A and B are shown apart, each in its own frame.
Chain A
Amino acid sequence: MAVVFDRPKALCDVPMHYCPGCTHGIIHRLVAEVIDEMGIEGDTIGVCPVGCSVMAYDYFGCDMIEAPHGRAPAVATGAKRAKPDSFVFTYQGDGDLAAIGTAETVHVATRGENIVVIFVNNTTYGMTGGQMAPTTLPGQITQTTPFGRDTSVQGFPIRVCEMLSTLDGTALAQRVSVDTVPHIREAKKAIRKGFENQKEKRGFSIIEVLSTCPTNWGMSPVEALDRLRAEMMPYYPLGVYKDTSVKEEK
Protein backbone atom coordinates (compact mmCIF):
# COMPACT_ATOMS: atom_id res chain seq x y z
CA MET A 1 0.00 0.00 0.00
CA ALA A 2 1.29 3.45 -0.82
CA VAL A 3 2.19 5.57 2.17
CA VAL A 4 0.37 8.90 1.94
CA PHE A 5 1.05 10.21 5.40
CA ASP A 6 3.93 9.47 7.76
CA ARG A 7 5.83 10.82 10.70
CA PRO A 8 8.56 13.26 9.58
CA LYS A 9 12.01 11.74 10.02
CA ALA A 10 13.06 14.64 12.23
CA LEU A 11 10.41 13.71 14.80
CA CYS A 12 11.24 10.84 17.14
CA ASP A 13 8.86 7.91 17.36
CA VAL A 14 7.77 8.59 20.92
CA PRO A 15 4.42 9.59 22.42
CA MET A 16 4.15 13.30 23.16
CA HIS A 17 2.88 14.53 26.51
CA TYR A 18 0.78 17.39 25.13
CA CYS A 19 -2.91 17.70 26.09
CA PRO A 20 -5.61 16.64 23.63
CA GLY A 21 -6.41 19.44 21.20
CA CYS A 22 -3.22 21.36 21.88
CA THR A 23 -1.56 22.67 18.72
CA HIS A 24 2.03 22.02 19.82
CA GLY A 25 1.90 18.71 17.97
CA ILE A 26 1.08 20.40 14.67
CA ILE A 27 3.79 23.02 15.14
CA HIS A 28 6.39 20.36 16.03
CA ARG A 29 5.42 18.52 12.91
CA LEU A 30 5.79 21.59 10.70
CA VAL A 31 9.28 22.30 12.04
CA ALA A 32 10.25 18.66 11.51
CA GLU A 33 8.87 18.63 7.97
CA VAL A 34 10.93 21.70 7.09
CA ILE A 35 14.05 20.10 8.56
CA ASP A 36 13.37 16.96 6.53
CA GLU A 37 12.69 18.83 3.33
CA MET A 38 15.86 20.86 3.65
CA GLY A 39 17.83 17.75 4.64
CA ILE A 40 19.45 19.50 7.56
CA GLU A 41 18.65 17.31 10.58
CA GLY A 42 22.28 16.31 10.97
CA ASP A 43 23.32 19.95 11.14
CA THR A 44 20.51 21.25 13.30
CA ILE A 45 20.65 22.13 16.99
CA GLY A 46 17.34 22.83 18.70
CA VAL A 47 16.95 24.71 21.94
CA CYS A 48 14.02 24.00 24.28
CA PRO A 49 12.42 26.47 26.65
CA VAL A 50 10.87 26.03 30.04
CA GLY A 51 7.14 25.67 29.60
CA CYS A 52 4.89 23.09 27.99
CA SER A 53 7.48 22.32 25.32
CA VAL A 54 10.24 21.80 27.87
CA MET A 55 10.58 18.17 26.81
CA ALA A 56 10.69 18.85 23.10
CA TYR A 57 14.27 17.55 23.25
CA ASP A 58 12.75 14.08 23.37
CA TYR A 59 10.62 14.73 20.28
CA PHE A 60 13.01 16.27 17.77
CA GLY A 61 15.56 13.95 16.21
CA CYS A 62 18.26 16.60 15.87
CA ASP A 63 20.70 17.44 18.67
CA MET A 64 18.94 19.36 21.42
CA ILE A 65 19.86 21.66 24.31
CA GLU A 66 17.55 22.47 27.18
CA ALA A 67 17.77 26.14 28.27
CA PRO A 68 16.85 27.85 31.53
CA HIS A 69 13.53 29.71 31.54
CA GLY A 70 13.62 32.57 29.05
CA ARG A 71 17.24 32.03 28.09
CA ALA A 72 16.80 29.97 24.94
CA PRO A 73 17.85 32.87 22.67
CA ALA A 74 21.10 33.26 24.64
CA VAL A 75 21.75 29.52 24.61
CA ALA A 76 21.02 29.47 20.88
CA THR A 77 23.41 32.39 20.38
CA GLY A 78 26.16 30.44 22.13
CA ALA A 79 25.53 27.35 20.03
CA LYS A 80 25.26 29.26 16.75
CA ARG A 81 28.38 31.35 17.39
CA ALA A 82 30.33 28.24 18.35
CA LYS A 83 29.06 26.33 15.32
CA PRO A 84 28.20 28.97 12.69
CA ASP A 85 27.52 26.40 10.00
CA SER A 86 24.81 24.64 11.92
CA PHE A 87 21.09 25.46 11.87
CA VAL A 88 19.88 26.62 15.25
CA PHE A 89 16.29 27.12 16.33
CA THR A 90 14.54 27.81 19.60
CA TYR A 91 11.03 26.73 20.41
CA GLN A 92 9.46 28.97 23.05
CA GLY A 93 6.16 29.85 24.63
CA ASP A 94 4.81 33.28 25.46
CA GLY A 95 5.83 33.36 29.13
CA ASP A 96 9.31 32.15 28.32
CA LEU A 97 9.87 34.48 25.38
CA ALA A 98 7.93 37.61 26.22
CA ALA A 99 8.13 37.82 30.03
CA ILE A 100 11.19 36.36 31.70
CA GLY A 101 13.16 36.21 28.45
CA THR A 102 12.27 39.61 27.00
CA ALA A 103 15.81 40.96 27.18
CA GLU A 104 17.26 37.88 25.50
CA THR A 105 14.53 38.01 22.85
CA VAL A 106 15.08 41.65 21.97
CA HIS A 107 18.86 41.33 21.89
CA VAL A 108 19.02 38.14 19.87
CA ALA A 109 16.90 39.96 17.28
CA THR A 110 18.82 43.21 17.30
CA ARG A 111 22.11 41.34 16.97
CA GLY A 112 20.69 39.80 13.82
CA GLU A 113 21.58 36.40 15.18
CA ASN A 114 21.17 33.86 12.40
CA ILE A 115 18.70 31.67 14.19
CA VAL A 116 15.02 30.83 13.95
CA VAL A 117 12.67 31.39 16.86
CA ILE A 118 9.42 29.46 16.85
CA PHE A 119 7.21 31.44 19.21
CA VAL A 120 4.08 29.66 20.35
CA ASN A 121 1.56 32.17 21.65
CA ASN A 122 -1.41 30.69 23.51
CA THR A 123 -1.99 33.66 25.86
CA THR A 124 -1.28 31.69 28.99
CA TYR A 125 1.29 29.84 31.09
CA GLY A 126 0.20 26.31 30.26
CA MET A 127 2.72 24.16 32.12
CA THR A 128 2.11 25.78 35.50
CA GLY A 129 -1.66 25.61 35.18
CA GLY A 130 -2.87 28.67 33.33
CA GLN A 131 -1.62 31.90 34.83
CA MET A 132 -1.55 35.31 33.18
CA ALA A 133 1.04 35.56 30.42
CA PRO A 134 2.45 38.73 28.80
CA THR A 135 0.16 37.93 25.88
CA THR A 136 -3.00 37.32 27.92
CA LEU A 137 -5.77 39.39 26.37
CA PRO A 138 -7.54 42.25 28.19
CA GLY A 139 -10.39 40.76 30.18
CA GLN A 140 -9.10 37.20 29.83
CA ILE A 141 -9.66 35.06 32.91
CA THR A 142 -6.67 33.10 34.12
CA GLN A 143 -5.65 31.61 37.45
CA THR A 144 -3.91 34.85 38.42
CA THR A 145 -6.47 37.17 36.79
CA PRO A 146 -9.59 35.51 38.20
CA PHE A 147 -11.70 38.56 37.36
CA GLY A 148 -10.17 39.01 33.94
CA ARG A 149 -7.01 40.88 32.97
CA ASP A 150 -7.54 44.44 34.12
CA THR A 151 -5.25 46.62 32.03
CA SER A 152 -5.30 49.35 34.67
CA VAL A 153 -3.66 46.87 37.04
CA GLN A 154 -1.83 44.33 34.90
CA GLY A 155 -1.09 46.49 31.88
CA PHE A 156 -1.42 45.45 28.26
CA PRO A 157 -0.42 42.43 26.18
CA ILE A 158 2.78 42.53 24.13
CA ARG A 159 2.64 42.17 20.35
CA VAL A 160 5.98 40.51 19.82
CA CYS A 161 6.20 40.42 16.02
CA GLU A 162 5.29 44.09 15.76
CA MET A 163 7.90 44.99 18.39
CA LEU A 164 10.72 42.93 16.88
CA SER A 165 9.95 44.10 13.35
CA THR A 166 11.27 47.54 14.32
CA LEU A 167 14.76 46.13 14.88
CA ASP A 168 17.35 46.24 12.12
CA GLY A 169 18.64 42.75 12.93
CA THR A 170 15.28 41.13 12.23
CA ALA A 171 15.01 39.50 8.80
CA LEU A 172 11.62 37.90 9.24
CA ALA A 173 8.81 38.59 11.68
CA GLN A 174 5.64 36.79 10.75
CA ARG A 175 2.54 35.80 12.68
CA VAL A 176 0.76 32.65 11.58
CA SER A 177 -1.86 30.31 12.92
CA VAL A 178 -2.51 26.57 12.77
CA ASP A 179 -6.30 26.67 13.16
CA THR A 180 -7.18 25.72 9.55
CA VAL A 181 -5.51 23.81 6.75
CA PRO A 182 -4.71 26.93 4.69
CA HIS A 183 -3.24 28.57 7.79
CA ILE A 184 -1.19 25.46 8.55
CA ARG A 185 0.23 25.55 5.02
CA GLU A 186 1.08 29.21 5.43
CA ALA A 187 2.71 28.54 8.81
CA LYS A 188 4.93 25.91 7.27
CA LYS A 189 5.97 28.29 4.50
CA ALA A 190 6.93 30.86 7.10
CA ILE A 191 8.98 28.35 9.08
CA ARG A 192 10.68 27.27 5.89
CA LYS A 193 11.48 30.89 5.11
CA GLY A 194 13.01 31.27 8.56
CA PHE A 195 15.35 28.33 7.99
CA GLU A 196 16.17 29.58 4.49
CA ASN A 197 17.05 32.96 6.00
CA GLN A 198 19.43 31.17 8.30
CA LYS A 199 21.03 29.40 5.37
CA GLU A 200 21.42 32.71 3.53
CA LYS A 201 22.64 34.43 6.72
CA ARG A 202 19.96 37.11 6.42
CA GLY A 203 19.62 37.55 10.17
CA PHE A 204 17.05 36.84 12.81
CA SER A 205 13.74 35.15 12.04
CA ILE A 206 10.76 34.84 14.33
CA ILE A 207 7.63 32.94 13.44
CA GLU A 208 4.87 33.58 15.96
CA VAL A 209 2.27 30.84 15.92
CA LEU A 210 -1.12 31.55 17.49
CA SER A 211 -1.96 28.46 19.47
CA THR A 212 -4.64 27.08 21.74
CA CYS A 213 -4.68 25.77 25.27
CA PRO A 214 -8.00 23.92 25.63
CA THR A 215 -7.06 22.59 29.06
CA ASN A 216 -6.31 25.89 30.72
CA TRP A 217 -8.85 27.84 28.73
CA GLY A 218 -11.47 25.33 29.94
CA MET A 219 -12.74 24.63 26.42
CA SER A 220 -13.08 21.79 23.99
CA PRO A 221 -10.48 21.78 21.21
CA VAL A 222 -13.06 23.09 18.74
CA GLU A 223 -14.22 25.85 21.07
CA ALA A 224 -10.60 26.74 21.62
CA LEU A 225 -10.01 27.15 17.90
CA ASP A 226 -13.14 29.33 17.73
CA ARG A 227 -11.79 31.51 20.50
CA LEU A 228 -8.44 31.78 18.72
CA ARG A 229 -10.21 33.15 15.65
CA ALA A 230 -12.70 35.32 17.48
CA GLU A 231 -10.51 36.85 20.18
CA MET A 232 -6.84 36.34 19.45
CA MET A 233 -6.71 37.13 15.75
CA PRO A 234 -8.22 40.61 16.11
CA TYR A 235 -5.64 41.50 18.77
CA TYR A 236 -2.80 39.61 17.10
CA PRO A 237 -3.41 40.01 13.35
CA LEU A 238 -1.80 37.38 11.16
CA GLY A 239 0.66 38.64 8.63
CA VAL A 240 4.21 39.43 7.66
CA TYR A 241 5.55 42.28 9.78
CA LYS A 242 8.99 42.26 8.28
CA ASP A 243 10.61 40.23 5.54
CA THR A 244 13.94 41.42 4.22
CA SER A 245 14.13 38.60 1.67
CA VAL A 246 11.38 40.32 -0.32
CA LYS A 247 13.51 43.42 -0.73
CA GLU A 248 16.42 41.28 -1.88
CA GLU A 249 14.36 39.64 -4.59
CA LYS A 250 13.29 43.05 -5.90
Chain B
Amino acid sequence: MERSLMKGNEALAEAALRAGCKCFFGYPITPQTEISAYLAKKMAKAGGLFLQAESEVAAINMVLGASGTGTRVMTSSSSPGISLKSEGISYIAGSDLPCVIINVQRGGPGLGGIQPSQADYWQATKGLGHGDFHVIVYAPASVQEMVDMVINAFDKADEYRMPAMILADGLLGQMMEPVTFPEIKQKNSEKTWAADGHKNKRKHNIINSLYLQPDVLENSVVERYKRYDTIQENETDAENYLCEDADIVLCAFGATARVAKSAVNQAREKGIKAGLFRPKTLWPFPVNEINEAVKNAKTVLTVEMSMGQMIDDVKLAINCSKPVEFFGRTGGIIPTPTEILAEIEKLGGAK
Protein backbone atom coordinates (compact mmCIF):
# COMPACT_ATOMS: atom_id res chain seq x y z
CA MET B 1 0.00 0.00 0.00
CA GLU B 2 1.30 3.46 -0.85
CA ARG B 3 2.95 5.40 1.89
CA SER B 4 2.24 9.09 1.78
CA LEU B 5 3.60 11.90 3.87
CA MET B 6 0.97 13.68 5.90
CA LYS B 7 0.60 15.89 8.92
CA GLY B 8 -0.92 14.09 11.89
CA ASN B 9 -3.94 16.35 11.94
CA GLU B 10 -4.62 15.90 8.23
CA ALA B 11 -4.06 12.15 8.31
CA LEU B 12 -6.49 11.87 11.18
CA ALA B 13 -9.08 13.89 9.27
CA GLU B 14 -8.65 11.75 6.17
CA ALA B 15 -9.00 8.60 8.27
CA ALA B 16 -12.22 9.93 9.80
CA LEU B 17 -13.64 10.47 6.31
CA ARG B 18 -12.69 6.96 5.31
CA ALA B 19 -14.23 5.61 8.51
CA GLY B 20 -17.56 7.00 7.38
CA CYS B 21 -17.72 10.14 9.48
CA LYS B 22 -20.65 12.07 8.01
CA CYS B 23 -20.66 15.23 10.12
CA PHE B 24 -17.92 17.35 11.61
CA PHE B 25 -18.51 20.34 13.86
CA GLY B 26 -15.51 22.39 14.91
CA TYR B 27 -14.19 25.69 16.12
CA PRO B 28 -10.71 27.05 15.38
CA ILE B 29 -7.96 26.56 17.96
CA THR B 30 -4.23 25.90 17.60
CA PRO B 31 -2.74 23.31 17.22
CA GLN B 32 -5.61 21.28 15.74
CA THR B 33 -7.02 23.64 13.13
CA GLU B 34 -5.70 21.57 10.19
CA ILE B 35 -8.36 18.98 11.01
CA SER B 36 -11.10 21.52 10.40
CA ALA B 37 -9.39 22.97 7.35
CA TYR B 38 -8.93 19.54 5.80
CA LEU B 39 -12.51 18.51 6.38
CA ALA B 40 -13.83 21.88 5.20
CA LYS B 41 -12.20 21.06 1.88
CA LYS B 42 -13.07 17.38 1.63
CA MET B 43 -16.22 16.67 3.61
CA ALA B 44 -18.81 17.90 1.14
CA LYS B 45 -17.20 15.98 -1.75
CA ALA B 46 -17.42 12.85 0.37
CA GLY B 47 -21.13 13.42 0.87
CA GLY B 48 -20.77 14.65 4.42
CA LEU B 49 -21.19 17.88 6.29
CA PHE B 50 -18.61 20.28 7.68
CA LEU B 51 -19.84 23.13 9.85
CA GLN B 52 -17.86 25.69 11.80
CA ALA B 53 -19.81 26.39 14.96
CA GLU B 54 -19.99 29.67 16.86
CA SER B 55 -18.16 28.15 19.83
CA GLU B 56 -16.82 24.89 21.17
CA VAL B 57 -19.94 24.74 23.30
CA ALA B 58 -22.17 24.89 20.24
CA ALA B 59 -19.96 22.44 18.33
CA ILE B 60 -20.26 19.68 20.92
CA ASN B 61 -24.01 20.17 21.09
CA MET B 62 -24.26 19.91 17.33
CA VAL B 63 -22.42 16.62 17.79
CA LEU B 64 -25.11 15.62 20.29
CA GLY B 65 -27.85 16.46 17.80
CA ALA B 66 -26.23 14.69 14.86
CA SER B 67 -25.30 11.64 16.91
CA GLY B 68 -28.84 11.57 18.27
CA THR B 69 -30.04 10.92 14.73
CA GLY B 70 -27.65 7.96 14.47
CA THR B 71 -25.07 9.74 12.31
CA ARG B 72 -21.31 9.17 12.57
CA VAL B 73 -19.97 12.45 13.87
CA MET B 74 -16.72 13.94 15.11
CA THR B 75 -15.48 17.12 16.71
CA SER B 76 -11.99 18.30 17.38
CA SER B 77 -10.35 20.84 19.62
CA SER B 78 -7.38 21.54 21.84
CA SER B 79 -7.20 21.69 25.62
CA PRO B 80 -9.06 24.94 26.47
CA GLY B 81 -11.69 24.05 23.90
CA ILE B 82 -12.16 20.59 25.38
CA SER B 83 -12.88 22.22 28.74
CA LEU B 84 -15.69 24.12 27.03
CA LYS B 85 -16.99 20.93 25.49
CA SER B 86 -17.04 19.04 28.75
CA GLU B 87 -20.67 19.89 29.57
CA GLY B 88 -21.82 18.51 26.24
CA ILE B 89 -19.62 15.44 26.57
CA SER B 90 -21.29 14.63 29.88
CA TYR B 91 -24.73 14.92 28.23
CA ILE B 92 -23.59 12.75 25.32
CA ALA B 93 -22.29 10.11 27.70
CA GLY B 94 -25.47 10.35 29.77
CA SER B 95 -27.56 9.95 26.63
CA ASP B 96 -25.55 6.87 25.55
CA LEU B 97 -24.57 8.46 22.25
CA PRO B 98 -21.51 7.53 20.22
CA CYS B 99 -19.15 10.17 18.86
CA VAL B 100 -15.45 10.78 18.36
CA ILE B 101 -13.72 13.69 20.08
CA ILE B 102 -10.19 14.77 19.23
CA ASN B 103 -8.00 16.62 21.72
CA VAL B 104 -4.72 17.83 20.23
CA GLN B 105 -3.35 18.94 23.58
CA ARG B 106 -1.50 22.16 24.30
CA GLY B 107 -0.06 23.57 27.51
CA GLY B 108 -2.33 24.80 30.30
CA PRO B 109 -3.93 25.75 32.62
CA GLY B 110 -5.94 28.70 31.35
CA LEU B 111 -5.04 29.95 27.93
CA GLY B 112 -1.68 28.29 28.59
CA GLY B 113 0.40 27.98 25.45
CA ILE B 114 0.19 26.32 22.08
CA GLN B 115 3.08 23.89 22.30
CA PRO B 116 2.58 20.15 22.93
CA SER B 117 1.40 18.95 26.31
CA GLN B 118 -0.13 15.93 28.02
CA ALA B 119 -1.59 17.79 30.95
CA ASP B 120 -5.16 16.82 30.03
CA TYR B 121 -4.62 13.19 31.07
CA TRP B 122 -6.67 13.61 34.21
CA GLN B 123 -9.37 15.48 32.33
CA ALA B 124 -9.62 12.82 29.64
CA THR B 125 -9.50 9.76 31.87
CA LYS B 126 -11.22 10.98 35.01
CA GLY B 127 -12.94 14.32 34.74
CA LEU B 128 -14.29 15.01 31.27
CA GLY B 129 -17.52 16.35 32.74
CA HIS B 130 -19.88 16.04 35.67
CA GLY B 131 -21.30 12.74 36.79
CA ASP B 132 -20.28 9.09 36.74
CA PHE B 133 -19.03 8.30 33.27
CA HIS B 134 -16.07 7.37 31.14
CA VAL B 135 -15.03 7.85 27.57
CA ILE B 136 -12.66 5.49 25.79
CA VAL B 137 -9.33 7.31 25.46
CA TYR B 138 -6.78 6.39 22.81
CA ALA B 139 -3.24 7.76 22.88
CA PRO B 140 -1.55 7.69 19.48
CA ALA B 141 2.23 8.01 19.28
CA SER B 142 2.65 8.37 15.53
CA VAL B 143 0.84 9.74 12.53
CA GLN B 144 0.00 6.17 11.56
CA GLU B 145 -1.65 5.61 14.92
CA MET B 146 -3.61 8.86 14.52
CA VAL B 147 -5.12 7.09 11.51
CA ASP B 148 -5.55 3.62 12.95
CA MET B 149 -6.94 4.79 16.25
CA VAL B 150 -9.52 7.18 14.85
CA ILE B 151 -10.89 4.43 12.63
CA ASN B 152 -11.10 2.10 15.61
CA ALA B 153 -12.57 4.85 17.78
CA PHE B 154 -15.60 5.22 15.50
CA ASP B 155 -16.30 1.49 15.65
CA LYS B 156 -15.86 1.26 19.40
CA ALA B 157 -17.96 4.36 20.03
CA ASP B 158 -20.79 2.75 18.05
CA GLU B 159 -20.30 -0.65 19.62
CA TYR B 160 -20.50 0.66 23.18
CA ARG B 161 -22.70 3.71 22.51
CA MET B 162 -20.33 6.16 24.13
CA PRO B 163 -17.85 8.88 23.21
CA ALA B 164 -14.33 7.88 22.26
CA MET B 165 -11.49 10.35 22.46
CA ILE B 166 -8.18 10.57 20.65
CA LEU B 167 -5.81 12.21 23.12
CA ALA B 168 -3.07 13.51 20.87
CA ASP B 169 -0.82 16.53 21.29
CA GLY B 170 0.56 19.40 19.24
CA LEU B 171 3.62 17.46 18.21
CA LEU B 172 1.64 14.57 16.72
CA GLY B 173 -0.84 16.95 15.13
CA GLN B 174 1.78 19.08 13.43
CA MET B 175 4.41 16.55 12.40
CA MET B 176 4.50 14.76 9.07
CA GLU B 177 5.34 11.09 8.81
CA PRO B 178 4.76 8.38 6.26
CA VAL B 179 1.31 6.91 6.61
CA THR B 180 -0.81 4.29 4.89
CA PHE B 181 -4.56 4.06 4.99
CA PRO B 182 -5.88 0.59 5.68
CA GLU B 183 -8.81 -0.96 3.87
CA ILE B 184 -11.85 -0.24 5.97
CA LYS B 185 -14.67 -2.67 6.35
CA GLN B 186 -17.71 -0.56 7.13
CA LYS B 187 -19.44 -2.17 10.03
CA ASN B 188 -23.14 -2.02 9.64
CA SER B 189 -24.32 -1.11 13.09
CA GLU B 190 -28.04 -0.53 13.04
CA LYS B 191 -28.98 2.24 15.41
CA THR B 192 -32.48 1.34 16.46
CA TRP B 193 -32.30 3.92 19.24
CA ALA B 194 -31.76 6.90 16.92
CA ALA B 195 -34.12 9.88 16.90
CA ASP B 196 -34.22 10.19 13.13
CA GLY B 197 -37.96 10.29 12.55
CA HIS B 198 -40.10 7.27 13.43
CA LYS B 199 -41.80 7.21 9.98
CA ASN B 200 -44.96 6.10 11.82
CA LYS B 201 -43.40 2.66 12.14
CA ARG B 202 -42.32 2.58 15.75
CA LYS B 203 -42.82 4.30 19.09
CA HIS B 204 -40.97 7.57 19.39
CA ASN B 205 -37.31 7.40 20.38
CA ILE B 206 -36.11 9.75 23.09
CA ILE B 207 -32.49 10.81 23.48
CA ASN B 208 -32.20 11.96 27.05
CA SER B 209 -30.00 12.10 30.12
CA LEU B 210 -32.59 13.35 32.62
CA TYR B 211 -33.86 10.93 35.25
CA LEU B 212 -35.54 12.68 38.14
CA GLN B 213 -36.12 9.47 40.11
CA PRO B 214 -32.89 8.60 41.92
CA ASP B 215 -33.43 4.86 41.61
CA VAL B 216 -34.01 5.13 37.87
CA LEU B 217 -30.92 7.29 37.47
CA GLU B 218 -28.89 4.89 39.57
CA ASN B 219 -30.01 1.99 37.42
CA SER B 220 -29.07 3.77 34.23
CA VAL B 221 -25.60 4.53 35.59
CA VAL B 222 -25.11 0.99 36.89
CA GLU B 223 -26.14 -0.41 33.50
CA ARG B 224 -23.56 1.85 31.87
CA TYR B 225 -20.90 0.67 34.28
CA LYS B 226 -21.58 -2.93 33.30
CA ARG B 227 -20.62 -1.88 29.78
CA TYR B 228 -17.51 -0.22 31.19
CA ASP B 229 -16.56 -3.55 32.82
CA THR B 230 -16.71 -5.24 29.42
CA ILE B 231 -14.59 -2.48 27.94
CA GLN B 232 -11.97 -2.81 30.68
CA GLU B 233 -11.86 -6.51 29.97
CA ASN B 234 -11.65 -6.33 26.18
CA GLU B 235 -10.37 -3.01 24.96
CA THR B 236 -7.05 -2.34 26.67
CA ASP B 237 -4.03 -1.98 24.42
CA ALA B 238 -0.37 -1.34 25.08
CA GLU B 239 3.11 -1.67 23.62
CA ASN B 240 5.81 -3.44 25.54
CA TYR B 241 9.37 -2.62 24.41
CA LEU B 242 12.32 -4.52 25.90
CA CYS B 243 10.58 -4.90 29.27
CA GLU B 244 11.20 -8.61 29.73
CA ASP B 245 14.66 -8.31 31.29
CA ALA B 246 14.48 -4.62 32.20
CA ASP B 247 15.63 -3.39 35.58
CA ILE B 248 13.97 -0.07 34.94
CA VAL B 249 10.74 0.19 33.01
CA LEU B 250 9.77 3.58 31.65
CA CYS B 251 6.09 4.25 31.31
CA ALA B 252 5.05 6.91 28.81
CA PHE B 253 2.26 7.51 26.28
CA GLY B 254 1.85 9.45 23.06
CA ALA B 255 4.65 11.63 21.76
CA THR B 256 6.55 11.31 25.03
CA ALA B 257 6.81 7.57 24.49
CA ARG B 258 8.81 8.20 21.32
CA VAL B 259 11.32 10.25 23.23
CA ALA B 260 11.37 7.69 26.04
CA LYS B 261 12.06 4.94 23.51
CA SER B 262 15.08 6.85 22.24
CA ALA B 263 16.28 7.13 25.84
CA VAL B 264 15.75 3.40 26.38
CA ASN B 265 17.84 2.65 23.29
CA GLN B 266 20.60 4.95 24.51
CA ALA B 267 20.49 3.33 27.95
CA ARG B 268 20.77 -0.13 26.39
CA GLU B 269 23.82 1.05 24.44
CA LYS B 270 25.35 1.95 27.79
CA GLY B 271 24.53 -1.49 29.14
CA ILE B 272 21.60 -0.37 31.27
CA LYS B 273 18.67 -2.75 31.13
CA ALA B 274 15.85 -0.33 30.40
CA GLY B 275 12.46 -0.98 28.82
CA LEU B 276 9.40 0.99 27.81
CA PHE B 277 5.77 0.32 28.57
CA ARG B 278 3.42 2.42 26.44
CA PRO B 279 -0.33 2.43 27.10
CA LYS B 280 -2.23 2.89 23.85
CA THR B 281 -5.52 3.08 25.70
CA LEU B 282 -5.52 5.42 28.69
CA TRP B 283 -9.04 4.51 29.68
CA PRO B 284 -9.34 1.64 30.04
CA PHE B 285 -5.82 1.63 31.49
CA PRO B 286 -3.94 -1.55 30.53
CA VAL B 287 -3.63 -2.95 34.05
CA ASN B 288 -2.75 -6.55 33.24
CA GLU B 289 -0.32 -5.49 30.57
CA ILE B 290 1.62 -3.15 32.84
CA ASN B 291 1.85 -5.74 35.59
CA GLU B 292 3.31 -8.16 33.07
CA ALA B 293 5.72 -5.50 31.82
CA VAL B 294 7.14 -4.53 35.20
CA LYS B 295 7.20 -7.94 36.83
CA ASN B 296 11.01 -8.23 36.69
CA ALA B 297 11.74 -4.52 37.09
CA LYS B 298 13.22 -2.91 40.16
CA THR B 299 11.98 0.57 39.34
CA VAL B 300 9.30 2.18 37.21
CA LEU B 301 9.89 5.65 35.77
CA THR B 302 6.87 7.49 34.44
CA VAL B 303 7.64 10.18 31.88
CA GLU B 304 5.01 12.70 30.90
CA MET B 305 4.59 16.16 29.40
CA SER B 306 2.89 17.32 32.59
CA MET B 307 3.64 17.58 36.29
CA GLY B 308 2.66 13.93 36.67
CA GLN B 309 -0.84 12.67 36.01
CA MET B 310 -0.69 9.18 34.50
CA ILE B 311 1.67 8.27 37.32
CA ASP B 312 -1.39 7.90 39.58
CA ASP B 313 -2.81 5.20 37.34
CA VAL B 314 0.57 3.49 37.08
CA LYS B 315 0.81 3.27 40.87
CA LEU B 316 -2.76 2.05 41.17
CA ALA B 317 -2.37 -0.46 38.37
CA ILE B 318 0.66 -2.12 39.94
CA ASN B 319 -0.71 -1.56 43.44
CA CYS B 320 2.50 0.31 44.36
CA SER B 321 4.36 -3.01 44.19
CA LYS B 322 7.46 -1.20 42.83
CA PRO B 323 8.81 2.26 43.40
CA VAL B 324 7.27 4.55 40.77
CA GLU B 325 9.37 7.61 39.98
CA PHE B 326 8.50 10.54 37.78
CA PHE B 327 10.15 12.75 35.23
CA GLY B 328 8.24 15.35 33.30
CA ARG B 329 8.36 18.65 31.51
CA THR B 330 5.37 20.87 31.17
CA GLY B 331 4.16 24.11 29.62
CA GLY B 332 4.87 22.91 26.10
CA ILE B 333 8.40 21.66 26.58
CA ILE B 334 9.15 18.27 25.10
CA PRO B 335 11.52 16.22 27.26
CA THR B 336 14.74 15.19 25.53
CA PRO B 337 16.20 11.70 25.39
CA THR B 338 19.29 13.07 27.15
CA GLU B 339 17.26 14.35 30.08
CA ILE B 340 15.42 11.07 30.41
CA LEU B 341 18.64 9.07 30.15
CA ALA B 342 20.12 11.18 32.95
CA GLU B 343 17.07 10.35 35.05
CA ILE B 344 17.47 6.65 34.31
CA GLU B 345 21.11 6.84 35.37
CA LYS B 346 20.22 8.83 38.48
CA LEU B 347 17.76 6.15 39.51
CA GLY B 348 20.55 3.67 39.49
CA GLY B 349 19.75 2.10 36.15
CA ALA B 350 21.76 -0.89 37.40
CA LYS B 351 24.08 -2.29 34.74
Contacts and interface: CB of A to CB of B under 8 A. Distances in A.
Interface of A: 12, 41-45, 47, 54-55, 57-58, 60-68, 71, 74-83, 86, 103-104, 106-107
21 contacts: A42-B200, A54-B210, A61-B204, A65-B65, A65-B68, A66-B209, A67-B61, A67-B64, A68-B64, A68-B87, A71-B61, A74-B57, A74-B62, A75-B61, A75-B68, A78-B25, A78-B63, A78-B64, A107-B53, A107-B54, A107-B58
Given A71-B57, A78-B67, 13 more contacts: A42-B199, A43-B199, A54-B210, A63-B198, A63-B204, A66-B209, A76-B65, A78-B61, A78-B62, A79-B68, A81-B62, A82-B66, A83-B196
B211 to A, nearest CB: 11
B49 to A, nearest CB: 5
B210 A66 contact: yes
Interface in B205-221: 205-210
A78 B58 CA distance: 10
Given A42-B197, A83-B196, A103-B54, A64 B206 contact: yes
Given A78-B63, A83-B69, A64 B197 contact: no
B95 interface: yes
Given A64-B206, A71-B57, A45 B195 contact: yes
A66 B206 contact: yes
Given A57-B206, A77-B62, A65 B55 contact: no
Contacts of A54: 210
B129 to A, nearest CB: 10
A12 B204 CA distance: 10
A12 B148 CA distance: 45
A65 B195 contact: yes
Contact of A83 (B61, B71, B200): B71
Contacts of B53: 74, 77, 107
Nearest to A47: B65
B61 A104 contact: yes
A71 B201 CA distance: 29
Contacts of B68: 45, 65, 75, 78-79
Contacts of B197: 42-45, 62-63, 83, 86
A58 to B, nearest CB: 7
Contacts of B200: 41-42
